[in-house]
Structure 1
Amino acid sequence: MKNIFYTIICCLISLTSLAQSDFGYENPDGRDPREEGMQRDSTKEQRYVPHHRLTCKWVHDGVYKEFYQIDTLQDGLQNTNLIFKHSVSNTYLGNFPAPYVSDIYILRPRGEDFLPQDRLRDYFFKPEDALDYNTTTPFTQLSYFNGGGRGKTEDWLDVWHIQNIRPYWNAGFRYNLISSDGAYSYQKSKTYNFSFFSSYEKDRMAVSMFINQNMAHITENGGIENLADIRDTSLDPKVVGTRLAMEPKNNLMNFNFKALAQYNIGNPKEIITQKDSATIDTTITYPMKFALALKAEDNRYSFKEESVEEGFFSDTTYISKQGNSDMIKNRKYEIDAKFILNEHPKYKYLPGVYAGLKFKYLSYDQRVSLDTINNRGTSKYTGTYLTAGTFNMDSTTMFNFDIWGSFCLA
């Protein structure tokens, strides 16, 4: 693991150094462009753009843009375990990234469309977690944490790289890996994800894209077989007996794709917005626009046990006494189209309004009977919704609001 970590550091250092320097590129004379900048006078065009990194998110799939101030708290740097991001009290197996549940009932997740995700959600990176960026210089963030002795080690590697390919086109990627062996036998947990995202915004067109895959491999041991081994003795945790000893394994795969396209209509107007004490953002706004969002999600959860511990759950096993292998699949598609009347830049208190249609498709494939051959079935759900809302999110007004609703047509 450490060799991989050092290799990634060396690659990122060389990549960032190349991206930050324009020496030797579009400079046939081989001169350092900084010398030319020192010698130019006020009559010459200035080529250098001040550094900035803007972070934003399209709310309601393209209705309006919400900006976020750059801060280390935004990345959750203070959290040594991601499960404490939403709840300060959780029950989990003790190692990172083990399944968890909040002890505060009202903070438990409302439920994903795919139930097995609920206990691992904070380890995943999904489209609703991603932001859009605009940075004049490449940005790289590398975090690595390691703890625990041999056989109990925990590793957490998080790599980001974001840069503008063109002033109006940004792209980036993220790789996140969490792995631990656990204090006791058959307790190893591992989650990782790789994401690529890009955004393009020029003239009347704005497009953003996000694609990623989350993976989780969780081994379970059923708990300590004899509590006296950890209460009344000082045995090494690795030799303490567990109730399940043949490594039942849980594997979860989550794939996401999202694309958002917007086309602005009408005569453009320039708006200057103070984002923070040091950043002023100049944007071009249009009276109205059309937005189209596409989402696709694929989930798979599998459970495997090489031998059956009949006395663990009950004295009777209904499926197999030799070994079990089960899988649940889920697919989700959404298409959301809407027409939006933007807030008026001159009349600050005139709200924006929007209306559109949303189509949602869900399918589940899973075991539906105890039959050893024809034991799987597929259930499907489709829904068509009318969506509408009104908003006034101009930061210069005294009162902001965002009211939305949906009605299922079929």
Structure 2
Amino acid sequence: MNLTDMVRSFAAERIRPAAEDLDATERFPAEIYQGMGELGLFGITVPEADGGSGGTVADYVTVMEELSYGYASIADQCGLVELVGSLLARFGTAEQKKTYLPDLLAGTKRCAYALTEPQAGSDLGALSTRARRDGDGWLLTGEKIYIHNAPVADFAMVLAVTDPEKRKRGGMSMFLVDTALPGVTRAYHEKKMGQRASQVGGFVFDEVRLPAHALLGEEGAGFGAVMSVLEKGRLGIAALANGISRAALDTAREHARSRRQFGKPIAEFQAVAFSLADMATDHAAARELIRHGADLLDGDADAGATCSMAKLFASEASIRTTSRAVQILGGAGFIRGVEAERLYRDARITTIYEGTSEVQRLIISRSLL
């Protein structure tokens, strides 16, 4: 069984049947994540020597689309582990890798990727969370918001300012922060529009004492490090969005074939058929952009603009496809518990996280000009 078939089978058997309940209860599905860990679906591009699958970016985006077709929140967790696992594999010491990677990739240890702050989202240069030296270690103070897994994380990769004069030009560093440490508070647990099984909340760090070995990578190299994984992260969200689009197309097509009005299936009305055609075209075009970006990253080529194009197009296409699915289902598409209604809500965040559509347009335009 190839990778696509394996993930597609897992999504059909373990994820899709649970999606409605997970959306309703907002439950953290630890059992699904453990199953993904057993299949090697966490850390797709993390080297085998570090416990990962040693796959390509092309493999990663394939996994993300198939998982998202099952339920986007599950793919979101895969993307989170991919980013944190990649940073650990690339910048971690042998001891850090030994401490965090095995359980993280097995799906039994929960991570968070703590960048965003009340006044710093797209502009990471405006971070105010501060880590200052204290003897052999560090004292961490600040607040992070809208952090995936914050309510359940065992540890967080936290980006903090270590030199206020330099900031993103050599004044930011990454830290591995165990959430059980004194001074770490899980500030809130957000209630979200969509992708409701993805736990989102905040951290408050009040003079948290960190040991010297909590520093991930070199001091001052944090901003560049997190930027180094953003292109892969954007492709992952593009693939997640495209999984939503494919699910929307399939549920709309099934409804159009079975729903009869004026004596025939509504699929036979040109207005509905053309809408399905537009949905299929959006999905296919997004997939080609995503694959092109993955090929560039796998070939160590400049992929910045292409990854931004893929993320921009796929995320905005998911808004269009899910809206069309709701329209084709009519009143049924507006009812909680119907797949099209959930997909419509799940798609909305894809134009915002991992860089808003506006940020992607900025990156693309700068590459042109």
TM-score grouping bracket, smaller chain normalisation: under 0.3
Rg comparison, structure with higher value: 1
Higher helix share: 2
Higher strand share: 1
Name the TM-score, length of structure 1 as normaliser: 0.21
Name the TM-score, length of structure 2 as normaliser: 0.22
